[in-house]
Structure 1
């Protein structure tokens, strides 16, 4: 098929490679323009742009589509069979949705209609879902409301992180979009039963509330690492928690305040009478380090409190 591919982050790159390897004609690749990044704020091309350029594909990076009639006309002039969208980052106007012969297909990282919206991977872990997956969806004007063509699922376990789930769903999406274009299965209309929305994440979503249960905070750490990052405060200084695991109270300790260190090994009381053992921590201006290295530079004795400032 003659395709336009529209994506920006790492998540989308395997799908671009898979479509190219499957022999589809990729007429153009649309991605977000280079953005300032790093300490020097130098412009950095998106992962999709770098991958497309390495394959010798034409890259287009309009700042907007809604207000750029010329960009929309150029898209229509591609005479496409289909457009494939994966975490592109711009809303497609209705005239663009209708331009390809078979419309626009979205690789969405959830089992729709659960977790429509911006952060389906993180939201599924935060909510304690037992599974996640990818849905190939026919795009329409609503937010992830279109008919579904193909789905596949994968378990979420107590060890699943946003990173591991992202990578699994990225590979799954690449496989499913190739299968979808090969088979063109019949579309299934989404029901309104079970609809949930995954809001766009902010830094504040990472703030740990130690009055919550150990299981909830564990899911917060796993869901929000590496971004925006789960964090707390120690003596008024923000520290990020990169890895943790639920744990019982140490022997001889029966009660404590939420956020209180229960021993000298970073076992922290939570709000449900259980604790969380912190395994990887990051001080400001430093890299993420394991608990032993952290404690050598910053002892945290039993009775100290986290999150009090």
Structure 2
């Protein structure tokens, strides 16, 4: 089929590669414009999708907006059978959604209608969900409201981080989208409307959410840590200079005490109820380190109160 691919981050790269590998004709790749980089912001860095598309020799387009008749005409000129959208980052107006003959398919990282929106991977883990998935949805004007064609379910293990779930999703999602396109080409891809019950919105992660609140239950603290790992990272201040320390991995632990109190020499921290043990940490400007290595360079004795 003739396909317009629309995506930007690493998450979208396996899907583009899979589509090309399956022999589809990718007539255009839309991605976000190169972003300023370097100390002075003078260098422009193309997106991961942009880089891969150029290696494949595909035509790349980086419009700042898709609104307006000129953008719609340029899009229709590709004469695409379908558009595949994976974490593109721009809103698609109705004129764009109506452009391809078979519509626009979106790969979304949740079991819709749960976790519509910007941060479904992080929100699923932060909420303590035991299962999530990837879905291929036919796009419409609403936010992730379109009918669903295919779903792949993924268990969330107790200590899984958002980074680990992201990497698993992007591989499974690429295969799922390839299967959806094959079924669509045969005329055999059926879509089911999303149920009205169970809708949840995955709002963008705010900075205020990233500081660890030790007064929460141990489970809630643990879920917050792994849901924000590796980026942007849950953190706490340490020492007289209140240096920011990210916690990249944790696990539930035995113990209790006042919230934020260090209970032993293994970085077991009391929470509002229960305790967590910090497994991997990263001090500002430093590389990630296992807890024992971190403690060799930082003094955090039992009885210390983290705030």
Same fold (TM over 0.5): yes
* Per-residue Cα deviation, 1:172-219 (whole angstroms, up to 9, x for no partner): 111111111111211111111100000011222211100111111111
Correspondence for 2:238 = 234
TM-score by length of 2: 0.95
Asked if 1 retains the 8 angstrom alpha-carbon contact of 2:159 and 2:250, the reply is no
Asked if 1 retains the 8 angstrom alpha-carbon contact of 2:9 and 2:48, the reply is yes
* Per-residue Cα deviation, 1:73-119 (whole angstroms, up to 9, x for no partner): 11111111000000000000100000100010100111101110000
Correspondence for 1:95 = 95
Correspondence for 1:190 = 194
Distance 1:128 1:256 in 2: 23
Correspondence for 2:130 = 130
How big is the alpha-carbon RMSD for the aligned residues of Structure 1 and Structure 2? 1.3
SS in 2 for 1:257: coil
Correspondence for 1:45 = 46
Correspondence for 1:267 = 268
Using the TM superposition, name which of 83-92 and 232-241 deviates more: 232-241
Q: Structure 2 regions of 5+ residues with no counterpart?
A: none
Correspondence for 1:23 = 23
Distance 2:89 2:270 in 1: 40
Distance 1:192 1:170 in 2: 27
Asked if 2 retains the 8 angstrom alpha-carbon contact of 1:203 and 1:229, the reply is no
| Superposition pairs of residues 156-167 of structure 1, within 5 angstroms | 156-167=156-167
- Residue 256 (structure 1) shift: 2.2
Asked if 2 retains the 8 angstrom alpha-carbon contact of 1:264 and 1:299, the reply is no
TM-score by length of 1: 0.94
| Superposition pairs of residues 77-156 of structure 1, within 5 angstroms | 77-156=77-156
- Runs of 4+ aligned structure 1 residues displaced above 4 Å come to none
Aligned length: 300
Distance 1:39 1:111 in 2: 40
Q: Structure 1 regions of 5+ residues with no counterpart?
A: 250-254
**Equivalent of 1:214 in 213, 218, 230:** 218
